[in-house]
Structure formats: C-alpha cells, structure tokens
Amino acid sequence: MAQAPTQQKSPQEINAIMRRLLVDSAPKYIKKLGTVTAVAGGDARIKLANVGIITRLICQVTCNLTIGTATATIGPKGAHAAITKVKLTDFDGSDRISCSGYQLFIRNSLRNHQSALQGMAALQSAVIGTSATTAGLPTTGLTNPNIPTAVATANMVFFIEVPVAIDSDANDLRGAILAQTTVGELYLVLSFASAFYGNGDDDKVYNGAATTTVAINSISIDTFQEYYLPQALSNGVVPIPQLDILTVYELNGALRSTDNLVSGSEKLLSLPNVRQIIGVYSNYLNNAIMGGGSGNDLAIIKLIANGNNIIREYSANFLYYEQRRRLGTDIGKGAYFIDMKENPIQTNLYGNVQLSLTPGGVLTSPSVEVMYEGLYIKGAALSGLSQSG
C-alpha cells in the first residue's frame, strides 16, 4: 500500500522549531566583557566574545565629573546625551546599529513599555528609602540614572541596553548574531560627547545654571554580553534558527539634519528601501530647546507613501498623547516615536515612503535627528538613509 507523501515544512516552520528547541535546550549566558575606558570626545571600543548566539548587550557607564561654581541643571536628554553614537558592526562590516544614545533611549522606552525604567532626567528612579523598617520599600540601592548636580566631584552612572535580537525576553531571536567563529571580530563602539554642559543647550547632559562648569575626569564602561550556547540534542542536531540568524535587526540613525526646516513647510526624509520598517524615531531641537518651547514645536508629523498616500498623520500633542498612552508616562518634549511593529511597512512593496515633519512657530537654528528601526535579510540589496525636501 502506497504511503501518503510527507508534507515538507516551510523555512519559517523549520526556523520556529529550531528557535523553540534552542530556547528550551540551551542555557542563556551573561558574560562580563571587562571594563573599557574612554575620554570626552573619544570612543570606547568594546570587543565582543566570539561565543554563542548573541542576543543583547548591557553597558553600565560611569563618568566621573567635577561640577563647579553653581549647582547644575539636568537637560531633558539626561545622561543619554553623553553618548553621541552607539555603533555595532557585523562580521561583514555593515552597521547593524548606528544611532545616538538618546535615540536608543527612545527605542528602549517603547520596546520596554515604560520610559521611567530606562531613566528619564525628569523621571529619575526614586532614591530608595534607607530605613529597613519602612514598609513596602525595596532594599536595592540602584538609582538609574544617577546624575549628580551638586558642586562636587561625583560619578554619573547609568545603564544602556543594546538590542542585537529584536526581543530576547520574548524569545523573538530575529537579528541574533551567531558568533561561534574564529574568523572575524565584533565590536561595540560608544562615542562620547566632548562636553556635557552647555548653558540653555538641551543637547547636553546639563543645560544650566548659567555659571556652572562640568569637567569630565574619566569615563569607564562595564559591558555584559547575553547569548545562547547551543547544545547538541540527543539526535546530534544542534538547533540553530537559520532565518533568525540571517535576519538583521537594524537601528539606522545618527542622522542629524538642519536644512529645509521652515515654519509651516514640510521637510521630507525617505525611509530606507528593502526593509521591514517597524519603528520611526525622531527628536527635534529649536533654539537649542527640545520641542522648541511654547508654541514652537513640530506642528504635523506624517508618514507618506508615494508622495500622496498618507499612512499616519499626527499633531505633536496627539503624538505625545499616544506615547503617554502606550508607556504610561512621557519620554520628554521634542521626542517622538511611530510604532509599526504589529503592522510593519515593507518599503519594497510601498515604493517611496517618507517621514514628513512640519515645524511650527518661530524657528532659530532648528535641527532634527531621525532613526529607523527595521529588519532585512542578509544579502538583500540595500540603501542607506536618504534625504530630500
């Protein structure tokens, strides 16, 4: 009697099986990579360990500062303004992550569903009660970020999380890097601002008081690498989710633009092609103030396909409302995200997709930073960020 043909599984089904087997059978390791130092205006170059399937990197940044003359005022970007660029480069030399520290903060706020967990300047983690008898208070001494303001020498300490896979907590391993090789090296590079203080400048860690001075004495970074170490199963198979490994999870940012920002007129920035775009992030400075101050914020934010098909359209206040609704708190004035993870934009299908920003009010040296969060398959023909308008 003839046997019924066996239905062949699709690559997506095989990947899902291998992912499940990997998560169920492989320990998740966290390895400390040591301490790396840097200087103001310089780079910290952190070599990753060539081991396992890398899913996430966590850095504790410690900056020893001397604040002089007057008590400092923390700017709206807080400690994240200390890092001008976060870069993770793949074995093949392409950038998986290239964004500012503040752009990474906005992304982490959205994907972790609460900006306060990431440590807002205006919503710093509460100082923990010191009385062991105080009911309901935790005993940990962590304040993240810890940003000193008094006239003294003290450490500013904060954590940043660098996602390699899109969501390792939820076992979504798209973008994870298979690092089990003796050929090639992976580096995480953190670039630091040359100055942490600027009077009235929201681009700095500290934006006041007028007579404050901030000297950067030293910078050190402790980095931890999270990874799975695949184990051979009883049948000898080593579960590697190949589609996850072949997928690049990309944070494509660190673009600051100052041209064609005119009150009441659209500025258009093209999304990268051949991507599955799941998030668009931007932050706006006007007269060195995040959000431009009263009446001088962005008026309209849109996503437009093929020049006339408006996919999303927001006023600044509507987008702030949506962000507060999603996170339960604000991420700060002048910072915006558009989340499309549940219904991504396939730029190879939509054609030309653009972010449209229309400033309002009075403009003084305005600028905007933009970052795109997306996925693509290795080997696809890619374009970088492009700009028009």
Confidence at residue 301, expressed as pLDDT on a 0 to 100 scale: 97
Looking at the chain, the number of H-run helices and the number of E-run strands are 6, 22
Confidence at residue 120, expressed as pLDDT on a 0 to 100 scale: 46
Domain ranges of the chain: 10-124+142-254, 258-389
Q: Which of 53, 47, 46 is nearest to 227 (CA)?
A: 53
Confidence at residue 385, expressed as pLDDT on a 0 to 100 scale: 47
Chain mean pLDDT for the chain = 89
The stretch 250-263 carries a mean pLDDT of 93
Confidence at residue 57, expressed as pLDDT on a 0 to 100 scale: 98
Interval 117-148: pLDDT, tens: 444 444 444 444 444 444 444 556 777 889 99
- Interatomic CA distance for residues 210 and 201, integer angstroms: 11
Q: Does residue 364 register a pLDDT over 60?
A: yes
Question: Which tokens hold the place of 79?
Answer: 């400690």
Contact at 8 Å (CB) between 312 and 387?
Answer: no
Interval 296-347: pLDDT, tens: 999 999 999 988 899 999 999 999 999 999 988 888 899 999 999 999 999 8
Beta carbons within 10 angstroms of residue 256's beta carbon: 14
- Interatomic CA distance for residues 328 and 62, integer angstroms: 29
Non-local (6+) Cβ contacts of 179 within 8 A are: 48, 49, 50, 51, 52, 53, 54, 186, 227
Interval 80-103: pLDDT, tens: 999 999 999 999 888 999 999 999
Confidence at residue 345, expressed as pLDDT on a 0 to 100 scale: 92
Non-local (6+) Cβ contacts of 41 within 8 A are: 192, 193, 194
Q: Does residue 386 register a pLDDT over 80?
A: no
- Interatomic CA distance for residues 332 and 114, integer angstroms: 12
**Residue 169 pLDDT class (50, 70, 90 cuts):** very high
Confidence at residue 351, expressed as pLDDT on a 0 to 100 scale: 72
Higher pLDDT, 311 or 7: 311
258-389 CATH fold: Jelly Rolls (2.60.120)
Inter-axis angle of helices 316-327 and 101-111, nearest 10: 60
CATH 2.60.120.10 is held by the domain 10-124+142-254 = no
Confidence at residue 140, expressed as pLDDT on a 0 to 100 scale: 61
Q: Does residue 355 register a pLDDT over 80?
A: yes
The stretch 143-156 carries a mean pLDDT of 93
Contact at 8 Å (CB) between 336 and 283?
Answer: yes
Q: Does residue 211 register a pLDDT over 90?
A: yes
Exposed/middle/buried for residue 214 (C-beta within 10 Å: 0-12, 13-18, 19+): buried
Q: Does residue 192 register a pLDDT over 90?
A: yes
Non-local (6+) Cβ contacts of 193 within 8 A are: 40, 41, 81, 82, 83, 84, 204, 205
Confidence at residue 383, expressed as pLDDT on a 0 to 100 scale: 52
**Residue 181 pLDDT class (50, 70, 90 cuts):** confident
Non-local (6+) Cβ contacts of 74 within 8 A are: 121, 122, 147, 149, 205, 206, 207
Contact at 8 Å (CB) between 173 and 181?
Answer: no
pTM: 0.90
Non-local (6+) Cβ contacts of 329 within 8 A are: 114, 115, 116, 120, 123
Q: Does residue 151 register a pLDDT over 90?
A: yes
